[in-house]
Structures are given as C-alpha cells and as structure tokens.
C-alpha cells in the first residue's frame, strides 16, 4: 500500500478540530486526556504540534507531539477506527523517524498488567510499538491519570531530556514524575 500522509495543524473551530476532537475523546480515556483546550494552547508554542493526519483527503488520525534538539515526545497518537490495522500507525511512526533522523522518539503507554480490564489491548499496543522499533525503558511516567510505561526508539533513554521537554510543552504546569519500574 502506498501512503501519501500529510500533517495539518489543528486550530479551534476548523474542520480538523472537529474531526480530531471526536477521535481524541473516543480513543483516550478521560483520566488520560489533557483538556483539548490545553492541547490547543500548548500547540501555540514553538516545537509543540497538535495535528490531524490525512492520506490524500481521508482523515486518518491525530498526533500530539513536541520536540527538542535530540528528542521527540509523542503524547497522543490515534488512528481512526475505520483505518486501523491497515499500516497507518506504523507509517506515521516511520515518517516521524525519517523526518527526524538521529532523534530519540519517546512515548508512554498503559503498562501491561494481567489484571487490567483491557489487558489484551495493552499487550497489542506494546507489541505494535515493539514491532516498530520501540523498547521498554526501565522507567514509568506517573501523573494524575496513572502510571505509564515509557518506550523509546533509542537504546539509551534520556530521562532528563524528556523531563525538560514535558516542562516546556506544558508551560511547567504538568505535574508528573519519572520513576523506575
């Protein structure tokens, strides 16, 4: 399959906003979501991006990401249910890697816990990211929404770089800790 992906900025009230908002609210549990107005505010900064993803004219998904010189953090990535399992998630990650060579890409996911109600979903998500070259680090991100396993595209996760990036992204308002698993 040939993908022609484009990333369009999300601004309040635009067609992108309404499509992205609908997917965002359905793809992420409330406890894991920043208020959408917060994402829009953070996106006003340099190096922070809240974007709709299209393949030609088809809305495929959303991504919220921020970056610094050596690191990229993907806060949210979701593919619309009608386009899932068609290679779009992998293509989005590959495009990020190709467009930002040499930069570590970091993201976090719900940890794989056997007693979790969505255990199989958590396993599948971890396998998806491992298939795309991400490795579990020895660290978790803990915030008001819970505890999340940190994955990295690099062998040597840069904890300090991630902390600086999260602080910049959130205007130093995001309350979190990075702790050992």
Cross-strand bridge partners of residue 135: 152
Domains of the chain: 5-180 (3.40.630.30)
Nearest to residue 129, comparing CAs of 74, 176, 168? 74
Supply the pLDDT for residue 2.
87
On the question of pLDDT at 1 being above 90, the answer is: no
Q: What is the pLDDT of residues 7-59, one digit of tens each?
A: 999 999 888 899 999 999 999 999 999 999 999 999 999 999 999 999 999 99
Q: What is the pTM of this model?
A: 0.95
Positive or negative CA dihedral for 132, 136, 142, 148? positive
Token readout for 52 is: 């709709």
For the residues of 144-181, what is the DSSP string, one character each? TTEEEEEEESSSS--HHHHHHHHHHHTTT---EEEEE-
Confidence at residue 15, expressed as pLDDT on a 0 to 100 scale: 87
């Amino acid at each position: 399959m040939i993908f022609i992906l484009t990333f369009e900025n999300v601004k309040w009230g635009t067609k992108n906003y309404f499509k992205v908002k609908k997917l965002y609210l359905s793809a992420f549990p409330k406890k894991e979501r920043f208020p959408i107005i917060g994402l829009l505010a953070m996106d006003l900064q340099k190096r922070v991006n809240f974007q709709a993803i299209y393949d030609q004219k088809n809305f495929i998904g959303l991504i919220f990401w921020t970056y610094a010189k050596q690191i990229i953090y993907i806060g949210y990535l979701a593919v619309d249910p009608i386009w899932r399992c068609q290679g779009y998630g992998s293509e989005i990650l590959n495009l990020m890697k190709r467009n930002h060579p040499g930069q570590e890409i970091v993201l976090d996911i719900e940890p794989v816990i056997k007693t979790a109600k969505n255990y199989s979903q958590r396993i599948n998500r971890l396998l998806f990211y491992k298939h795309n070259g991400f490795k579990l680090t020895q660290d978790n991100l803990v915030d008001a929404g819970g505890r999340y396993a940190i994955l990295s595209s690099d062998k040597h996760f840069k904890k300090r770089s991630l902390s600086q990036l999260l602080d910049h992204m959130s205007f130093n308002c995001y309350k979190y800790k990075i702790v050992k698993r």
